[in-house]
Structure formats: C-alpha cells, structure tokens
Structure 1
Amino acid sequence: MKRLHFIIAFIIGLFIAACSSSKNIDYNNKNEEPVVIANDSLEYEIIIIDPGFTYYLNAIAKPEGFYSQTYLENKNRFYVPVWNYRASNPLQFNPNIYENVIDYSPNIDYGYEVNYKLFNYFKFAEQKYRMRLR
C-alpha cells in the first residue's frame, strides 16, 4: 500500500515578520491543529503544520466552490514545480520554509479538496513569508 505523506512545517520563531497589511494573522497560534489534506481513494495525504494556516483557510481564503477544480489544478501545476525547485535548493532558499518536495502529478485527479487546500497553502505561504512563487 503506497501512502504518500508530505509535511510542510515551519520552525516557529524563524522568519516571522510583522504584517504591514490591515489583516493581522496570528501565525503563532500554538493550539492550532495541523491541516490534513487527504484523498482516501488515492491513498494520498498532505499534512500541513504551519501556524496560521487554519485561520487563513477559515477567515481569508475564498470559500470552497469559489474556484473550479480545473482552475485549482492549473494553479497547482504552476506552483508545485516552483516550490519543489526551492525545496531542492536549500542553500539558495530558506530550508525552514521549503522543507519538503511535493509529489504532485498533473496526470492524477486528486479531487477538489486536495487541490483547494494545496492552492490555498501556496497563497498563505506567499503572504506569510512575503514571497512569490513565480
């Protein structure tokens, strides 16, 4: 049984900067549960342990159903290789942010929830770490 696990984690205290926008997100909420993204039929799972992501999903991200699955898949096909390049180059990019490579195949239908949460993690990371995945 092949089971893919990805953990995207951040070491608290490193690389935290004050948000200059009017949206103040509590990135240090230590009581926040990890976000699990899973597609049981594909035996696919991503666990995101990054303070503030649950809040981002619930309060800032567009609601589920706002984007089509095709839109999310297209965005993830773009973001994943950029993320993986950075994760593979820890001397050039902060290894505390880009800890793991994401095994995302554009030929697999992961379903709406996986694509929605993965897409929103990329948007969250761009905002939190003040970077662009481009």
Structure 2
Amino acid sequence: MVLKRFTYHILGIALLLFIIFVSCKPQTPTVSDTETEIFNSKESDTITIANDSLEYEVIIIEPGFYAWLQSMARPRGFYSQTFLENRNILFVNEWNRRVTMPQRYNPNLYELQINYTPNIDYGYEVNYQMYNYFIYFQRKYNQRLTGLIPRI
C-alpha cells in the first residue's frame, strides 16, 4: 500500500514537472506565408527618414522592409508615440549591447550602434518606422531583443 502511494506521488511530481517544462518552452511568433514571402524578397528597399531641424537621418536598408511595413505592420496611429518611444528605448539599448559583443551575437546582423537619445522628440514617424523595423528584424531573423514576443 505504501509503495502504491509512493508511485502515485512520483507520477504526480513527474506530471507536474512535465507541465512546467512544456509551459516554459520559448514561444516563437507565427509567421504567415505572405510574411515569409516578404522576408525572402531580394528586392532592395531603402527608407530614409530625415529632419533637417534636428540634424538627424535614419536610413534603413533591408530587402522587404518597405513591403512589410505597407502590408503587415499596424497602421500609423495604432500605437501612441509614448508607446513607440518606450519600446524603441528598450530595443535600441539591447541592439547596441549586441553590437559590442560580436563574439556572442552575429556581427552581420548587429553591425552599427544606433544613436537614439530618449530626451529628443524625434516625432511620430521616426518612432513608428524604427519600432516596426525592430519588429520586422526580430521576426525575420528569429531574434528577441526583449522578453516580449515580436507580434504584429
């Protein structure tokens, strides 16, 4: 009788450990066929965002990004500028950290640091396109810049 109870306890613990193990499995974002086609695009895309009064320029050179931005990203106005700025700060900090660690992170993905100063108002459009580039990048290259799953 004691052996039977002990067996049930072992089975219960094993089941509990299995449930914990399965629930801790890293989640990967679901990528649609349309998104996969865009990711596999070889057509060169270059987006330049500039503001002469603030003397900055953002250049995004990534095949498929413009098509992804137009067809997959949430529309302008969906997120507030504050939301975009807060996420961009997190993404930029992690991006820049990875640039400084080429032995750990692929230097072909993380080539240059991003100079993004949180107390400068870059405006909605810059923050919108930067945020969406980070989402695009994470989904295309299966990267996680934060603990958040990059969803669209």
Query: Which residue does the alignment assign to 1:72?
Result: 84
The RMSD of aligned alpha carbons is: 1.7
Structure 1 unaligned regions, length at least 5: 1-19
Conserved 8 A contact 1:32-1:54: no
Is the counterpart of residue 62 in structure 1 residue 55 in structure 2?
no
- The 5-angstrom pairing of residues 16-35 of structure 1 reads 21-23=31-33, 24-35=36-47
Query: Which residue does the alignment assign to 1:86?
Result: 98
Superposition TM-score, scaled by structure 2 size: 0.71
Superposition TM-score, scaled by structure 1 size: 0.79
| 1:22 counterpart letter in structure 2 | S
Query: Which residue does the alignment assign to 2:145?
Result: 133
Q: Deviations along 1:13-58, whole A, 9 cap, x unmatched?
A: xxxxxxx732323334343330112223211111111111111100
Higher relative contact order, structure no. (Cα contacts within 8 Å, ≥ 6 residues apart): 1
Structure 2 unaligned regions, length at least 5: 1-29, 147-152
Query: Which residue does the alignment assign to 1:13?
Result: none
Q: 2:135 aligns with which of 101, 123, 133?
A: 123
CA distance in 2, matches of 1:66, 1:86: 29
Query: Which residue does the alignment assign to 2:123?
Result: 111
| % identical aligned pairs | 53
Larger CA Rg, structure 1 vs 2: 2
Q: Select the structure that is richer in strand.
A: 1
**3-state DSSP of counterpart to 1:57:** helix
Superposed displacement of residue 115, structure 1: 0.5
